[in-house]
A and B are shown apart, each in its own frame.
Chain A
Amino acid sequence: MAIDALGASIKRREDPRFITGAGNYIDDIKLPSMAHMAILRSPYAHANIRSVDVTAARAMPGVIHVIVGADVPYNPLPMVWPAGGSAGLRNNVNSPRILATDGVKWTGEGVAAVVAETPAQAFDALAEIVVDYEPLPAVVDAEKAVAAGAPQLHENAPNNVVFEWSVGDKAGTEAAIDTAEVVVRQRLVNQRLIPNPMETRGDIGWYNPGTEEYTLWMSSQTPHIQRLLVGIFTMGIPEHKLRCIAPDVGGAFGTKIFCYADYALVLLASKRIGGRPVKWIEGRRENYQSTIHGRDHITYLEIAGKRDGEITGLRVKTLANLGGRLSTIGPGIPTTLYARVLSGCYKIPNV
């Protein structure tokens, strides 16, 4: 007899391994001859890089390989969800590099990577890398960033405006507001947040020199998509030469959807050191800096209504902080994903 699952309390099949400590999360995976990678990250939100000196780091105990931005032959990470549906849209293409080359645009941007026999040796060597930064002014508030005189981040985004986008029935909404019995106006701050899964991100890259195939174990919500984003768009590896494996994932909250520089770095590092697998596990502080954040909207809204409480129109103007560089799906979120569902579950005739 089939079980009627609706309303029944059903025990989860994956729980026995989690409650006995037999789960298999990314950092639980240990491969023969595996090396460990650590990433040096920028302490500045905005700076030019004059030089990166890794001589001392290369000589540290256990160090196998050191990578800087100039050594990375790949494309910047892809931004694959532009704000669609509006003509004449200018989406700039300032997406993150695998490692920064001439400058950094956000705190936590990767500058160099060390591969060593143990994680501790990799971290010890990071401390020996000397980066000559020329710090530049930074601004973190979206309204201040678009104000006159604000520090400029990208030449192709004047006044720090990446694009302007609109959707909906403009004339109808204007009319609804102009003729409304009541109009409520408000400024609403939806604060920036750190999604903060209990398991930070992490990955293991393995290049098989015999077959020239790559394997990427990743704490990810999107291993299928990453085959395209990391493989084809970033590194130029055809899909049949890259296998992406997501083991048990210790929470993600959206952060593990995106395409990150470390995916390409562990694969590149494995190839550079002759096919030994390379593991990178993110620290918590690192997670706060270098894994994506959410929200950070400043919204001006106007609600038109009748005295009996019926809502007749909604006009929303939102300034979304997209950060120092465009993430994988950053531009799609405050546009297609957000603006098209503004009315929520309400029946609002003019939005």
Chain B
Amino acid sequence: MAEHVTLVVNGQRREVDVEPRRLLVEVLREDFGLTGTHVACDTSQCGACTVHMDGQSVKSCTVLAVQADGATVTTIEGLAAGGELHPIQAAFWEKHGLQCGFCTPGMIMSAADLLARVPDPSDQQIRHAIHGNLCRCTGYHNIVAAIREAAVTMHTGSASDSGIVG
């Protein structure tokens, strides 16, 4: 017994018939082919699946697809406008904020949510904002540095020249 769901995903209107038990992340990955959003746990703890729904970050493994009916969703694939890296993406690259990259899309989407609300966060606010995102590789240090760097770029339009990694 399928339910009909209509969404706007990365600016595109999409419609899909889903079993009521299916998760938003499954529909994004399997039906829409947006595999940048990852699944790394089965307990809503890791944040690898973070996307924006109506402007707020959500764990898409914890949202039923039917709950997202009528919503506007942005995934990691929709973050870079017109082929240009988003400043947060650029800062993760610049500051070595990733290794295997599996947590990275979720991390970046959480950071984007933070910087939309708090343009100039303290390190403590950054760490608090990503406390629902787990990374096994980096030790978080350079992720925090990348988000700090992105905040500066988004403020001033240019990267800080501190040149310090971390």
Question: Which residues of chain B come closer than 8 Å to A249, judged between CB atoms?
Answer: 100
Whether B102 and A21, one on each chain, are in contact in the complex, defined by CB atoms closer than 8 angstroms, is no
Question: Which residues of chain B come closer than 8 Å to A17, judged between CB atoms?
Answer: 101
Question: Smallest Cβ distance from B162 to chain A, in angstroms?
Answer: 12
Q: Check B42 for interface membership: any CB of A closer than 8 A.
A: yes
Q: Is the interface of A mostly helix, strand, loop or mixed?
A: loop
Q: Check A4 for interface membership: any CB of B closer than 8 A.
A: no
Given contacts A19-B85, A21-B77, A198-B103, contact A251 B136 (CB under 8 A): yes
Whether B39 and A198, one on each chain, are in contact in the complex, defined by CB atoms closer than 8 angstroms, is no
Could you list 9 further interchain pairs (A-B, Cβ under 8 angstroms) beyond the known A19-B92, A197-B136? A9-B165, A12-B93, A14-B101, A22-B36, A25-B38, A197-B100, A199-B40, A251-B136, A283-B42
Query: Which residues 13-48 of A have a CB within 8 angstroms of B?
Result: 14-25, 27-28, 30
Determine the residue in chain B with the shortest Cβ distance to A15: B93
Whether B40 and A120, one on each chain, are in contact in the complex, defined by CB atoms closer than 8 angstroms, is no
- The residue in A17, A21, A249 that gathers the most chain B C-beta atoms within 10 A of its C-beta is A21
Q: Check A200 for interface membership: any CB of B closer than 8 A.
A: yes
Q: How far is the CA of A34 from the CA of B98 in the complex (A)?
A: 31
Given contacts A11-B93, A199-B100, A200-B40, contact A21 B136 (CB under 8 A): no
Q: How far is the CA of A197 from the CA of B102 in the complex (A)?
A: 9
How many residue pairs bridge A and B at CB < 8 Å? 104
Q: How far is the CA of A23 from the CA of B42 in the complex (A)?
A: 21
Q: Check B110 for interface membership: any CB of A closer than 8 A.
A: no
Q: How far is the CA of A12 from the CA of B43 in the complex (A)?
A: 32
Given contacts A19-B108, A20-B85, A250-B40, contact A25 B102 (CB under 8 A): yes
7 closest residue pairs by CB, A with B: A21-B36, A18-B101, A250-B102, A21-B76, A28-B35, A19-B89, A198-B102
Task: Indicate with 1 or 0, residue by residue over B25-59, a CB within 8 angstroms of chain A CB atoms.
Answer: 00001100111111111110010100000000000
Given contacts A20-B77, A22-B36, contact A12 B96 (CB under 8 A): yes
Question: Smallest Cβ distance from B121 to chain A, in angstroms?
Answer: 20
Q: Check A196 for interface membership: any CB of B closer than 8 A.
A: yes
Q: Check A300 for interface membership: any CB of B closer than 8 A.
A: no
CB < 8 Å neighbour of B39 from A15, A16, A21, A27: A27
Task: Indicate with 1 or 0, residue by residue over B120-152, a CB within 8 angstroms of chain A CB atoms.
Answer: 000000000000001111000000000000000
Q: Check B104 for interface membership: any CB of A closer than 8 A.
A: yes
CB < 8 Å neighbour of B100 from A21, A24, A250, A285: A250
Question: Smallest Cβ distance from A195 to chain B, in angstroms?
Answer: 9
Question: Which residues of chain B come closer than 8 Å to A11, judged between CB atoms?
Answer: 93-94
- The residue in A23, A198, A200 that gathers the most chain B C-beta atoms within 10 A of its C-beta is A198
Question: Which residues of chain B come closer than 8 Å to A120, judged between CB atoms?
Answer: 19, 21-22
Query: Which residues 1-37 of B have a CB within 8 angstroms of A?
Result: 19, 21-22, 29-30, 33-37
Whether A284 and B41, one on each chain, are in contact in the complex, defined by CB atoms closer than 8 angstroms, is yes
